[in-house]
Structure 1
Amino acid sequence: MQASPEKARAALAGGEPPRRANFSITRPRAARDPVEEPDFISLVDQPPQLVRSGRKHGIGLLFLALIPVTAFALGTWQVKRLQWKTDLLARLEDRLIRDPLPLPPRIDPSAVPDFDYRRVYAKGHFRHDQEMLIGPRMREGEQGYEGLDSKEVRQPEDQERCSPLGEVTVEGLLREPWKKNMFTPDNRPDKKEFYFPDVKQMAELVGSQPIWVEATLIPEYLKMADYESRGVPIGRPPVVGLRNNHAQYIFTWYSLCIATSIMLYMVAKKPSSDITRRVRMSKNW
């Protein structure tokens, strides 16, 4: 509705002034620049993350990792074997310094391991008709046999000529006889051919006790030369003949463990030839 000119002039002349409408305009607040934030870190300032892509190490690395583990286990086992062998040698050498015992008329074969390398002596007569040879054996380049160390001795009459006659005293070591290996042929007792001391088999053949005694002889050049010239059997030195190489095995296995561990580290650290590197995109990009 529009006011008439008269009312407008009356209002201007002294009437009420016209009302004024109030308007306010709110301007939108400008967003704060992220750069002004105190904890702002630019993406370009972040260090790149290098990652591998392509084929990774496969079963070959796993196989290589088994080598140092196995070598360490074997080296530790050899440490225990060294302690066991050292104690065994000390126990056997203690038996060697003891005075010899008289060999009893009857011996329990199951008790022999408890008296291994024990010095004993026995008195009696040699049965030349029941002698057996084990061999052939080599001693200082000469072929011979266990029992009679002479390659010319073959027949019982020759053995009787070389072996002592009458009552004799034999001193030796009570021993567990060695076992045959895969290269040793089987004994042929029907032909009196023996290649290893099967004590039970030999005892049954001649009707004696299955006891193995190794005659000993203190090495003396003149006596051994005389025995060798006459074909008389030469006894073994009274020493413990067990080998103790476990310290070498320990060094070998632990050295292999260290060497393969270094190789494993170098292989695991170095990427394969077909592996490339790329920069991983930041998750906050």
Structure 2
Amino acid sequence: MTGPVADARSVPRPRRAGVLVTFVALLAVAFLGFLALGVWQVQRMAWKHDLIARVDARVHAEPVPAPSRAQWPRVTDASDGYRRVSVAGEFVPGKETRTQAVTAYGAGSWVLAPLKTDAGDYVLVNRGFVPMGQTAGEPPQGRVVVTGLLRISEPGGGFLRRNDPAQGRWYSRDVAAIAQAHGLPADRVAPFFMDEGLADEAGAASDAWPRGGLTVVKFRDSHLSYAVTWFGMALLALAAGVFLIASERRLRHDRRR
């Protein structure tokens, strides 16, 4: 007699039982792993929906004064990120920093410049994007009022790349490190930066660089499809385990006949 049943019967019972337990254990681990990933995606979806709602409400609101030094310890991404703010002061000449960026215009840099406020503090202002090979215009001289989106500092660097202040290589907008590199007093530098300009209005008035208004305020929301995929994989792993156990029971039943 040949076929799968005959082959399974020809395997010694202890060995076959051990193989079955191993496969079922692996499927159980896979089931729990896929289930955990599905739950994580559901949690991420809730977080993303909250982020989208917060950002959408804040970017269309009227600007408010940027947090003062007394308020800095309470500034967080959840409470203040992407809030439209304004600040008055003068740009500090000769202390601009370029950080690596990619936008709809391709690869290039953000151009950040410290602004000394009327209160004597410093706020790092992201003046906008400059493509590779393009020249950035100088910041305006004299007292200005800058309006933009409050953003939380990005310490460390980018993906798999650390900032290198000594070489002037910046992959993230790390406020504290940039301020230190330019010799600004640490206790007077705001722990956030500002993206100058209004989102979705880049270059509306000029073709000059840097170009503001390129802050990403629309976010992909694919977490539901990811969650369904992981939960589907969990069900497949569960079904495979049930099938193996049911097949073993049928074999045992056939042996007793």
Give me the TM-score of the superposition, normalised by structure 1. 0.64
- Alpha-carbon distance, 1:105 to partner: 5.0
Determine which structure has greater relative contact order: mean sequence separation of CA pairs < 8 Å that are 6+ residues apart, divided by chain length.
Answer: 1
Secondary structure of 1:270's counterpart equals helix
Bigger radius of gyration: 1
Question: Match of 1:24?
Answer: none
Question: Match of 1:185?
Answer: 162
| Residue 80 (structure 2) aligned to one of 115, 138, 151 | 115
Give the residue type in structure 2 aligned to 1:66. V
Question: Match of 1:151?
Answer: 132
**Compared with structure 1, are the counterparts of its residues 65 and 220 closer, same or farther at alpha carbon in structure 2 (3 Å cutoff)?**
closer
Percent identity between matched residues is 27
1: CA distance, partners of 2:46 / 2:232: 20
| Residue 62 (structure 1) aligned to one of 5, 14, 25 | 25
Question: Match of 2:197?
Answer: 216
- Alpha-carbon distance, 1:175 to partner: 1.1
The answer to whether structure 1 residue 247 and structure 2 residue 195 are counterparts is no
Give the residue type in structure 1 aligned to 2:109. Y
Give the residue type in structure 2 aligned to 1:64. L
Q: How does 1:1-285 map to 2 (within 5 A)?
A: 54=13, 55-56=16-17, 57-106=20-69, 108-113=71-76, 114-135=79-100, 137-140=101-104, 142-147=106-111, 149-152=130-133, 159-160=137-138, 163-179=139-155, 180-188=157-165, 190-204=166-180, 205-207=182-184, 209=189, 210-220=191-201, 223=204, 226-227=206-207, 230=208, 232-237=209-214, 240-271=217-248, 277-279=254-256
- Alpha-carbon distance, 1:254 to partner: 0.8
2: CA distance, partners of 1:133 / 1:258: 49
Give the residue type in structure 2 aligned to 1:171. T
Deviations 1:48-67 (A, max 9, x none): xxxx8823223122211222
Contact kept? 1:170, 1:215, Cα under 8 Å: yes
Task: After the TM superposition, list the runs of 4 or more consecutive aligned residues in structure 1 that deviate by more than 6 angstroms.
Answer: none
**Compared with structure 1, are the counterparts of its residues 88 and 151 closer, same or farther at alpha carbon in structure 2 (3 Å cutoff)?**
closer
2: CA distance, partners of 1:143 / 1:110: 34
**Number of corresponding residues:** 218
Give me the TM-score of the superposition, normalised by structure 2. 0.70
2: CA distance, partners of 1:253 / 1:126: 50
Unpaired runs of at least 5, structure 1: 1-51, 281-285
Contact kept? 2:154, 2:175, Cα under 8 Å: no
**Compared with structure 1, are the counterparts of its residues 263 and 82 closer, same or farther at alpha carbon in structure 2 (3 Å cutoff)?**
same
**Compared with structure 1, are the counterparts of its residues 96 and 109 closer, same or farther at alpha carbon in structure 2 (3 Å cutoff)?**
same
2: CA distance, partners of 1:150 / 1:239: 17
Unpaired runs of at least 5, structure 2: 1-8, 112-128
2: CA distance, partners of 1:84 / 1:254: 19
1: CA distance, partners of 2:159 / 2:214: 28
RMSD: 3.3
Give the residue type in structure 1 aligned to 2:50. D
2: CA distance, partners of 1:222 / 1:134: 20
1: CA distance, partners of 2:43 / 2:37: 10
2: CA distance, partners of 1:140 / 1:182: 19
Contact kept? 2:41, 2:223, Cα under 8 Å: yes
- Alpha-carbon distance, 1:277 to partner: 3.7
1: CA distance, partners of 2:144 / 2:243: 71
2: CA distance, partners of 1:181 / 1:237: 18
- Alpha-carbon distance, 1:239 to partner: 5.7
